[in-house]
Amino acid sequence: NAGVTQTPKFQVLKTGQSMTLQCAQDMNHEYMSWYRQDPGMGLRLIHYSVGAGITDQGEVPNGYNVSRSTTEDFPLRLLSAAPSQTSVYFCASSRQMDDRPYEQYFGPGTRLTVT
Amino acid sequence: KNQVEQSPQSLIILEGKNCTLQCNYTVSPFSNLRWYKQDTGRGPVSLTIMTFSENTKSNGRYTATLDADTKQSSLHITASQLSDSASYICVVRSVGNGGSQGNLIFGKGTKLSVKP
């Protein structure tokens, strides 16, 4: 198993540009999520999905879109990049969101700089 | 407000020494608590997951404790190695609607440096 993969690893954007961060997992996990990690702060949830066709907002969703057309893929779209979106983005997946403490697996991250 | 506070913010120890990292939380209702290790430039990797009924859990040289009454957890690292240099993140999951899992609440992490 490759686990959770993310592309690209690094990206530089100009203000106003759009792009898609890719995330894929091969563990047949229902739950997938996107986080951003900023210096001096804990990881913050952007969007999450509990299965194909179902997405919901997390703590900091503004400026980001997601879709989940397949179980494996969960892309994150930046609609119009802003310097405030400079961050490291992590994708994560786990089994169902129920009352059992399922393990959550993180991807290697995408480091995004917006100038 | 649900919060997870970690201390110290950073720590430097010599190789071979032990250390203990602290985590206090105000998350309620509580479901489970996790410790993650995050190497520089990489994603977090799970060390332990502890539910309400578990007081201690070990993973090799890592031992986590949980006191659900005082809402405190600690991560003890024994006989530290250079490869233990990383950030250690405490994460608490609340109980969501209808008894399902709530979202994860992350601490800011403790940055551990192990020196030779």
The predicted-structure confidence for B70-112, as pLDDT tens digits, reads as follows 999 999 999 999 999 999 999 998 876 665 557 789 999 999 9
DSSP assignment of A5-54: EEE-SEEEE-TT--EEEEEEESS--SEEEEEEE-TTS--EEEEEEEETTE
Look up residue A90 and give its DSSP letter.
Answer: E
Q: Which residues contact B72 (CB under 8 A, 6 or more apart)?
A: B22, B23, B24, B25, B66
A:B CB pairs within 8 Å: 54
The predicted-structure confidence for B27-39, as pLDDT tens digits, reads as follows 888 889 999 999 9
| Mean pLDDT computed over A17-22 | 97
Cα of B110 to nearest chain A Cα, Å: 10
Say which of B4, B99, B109 has its CB closest to residue A99.
Answer: B99
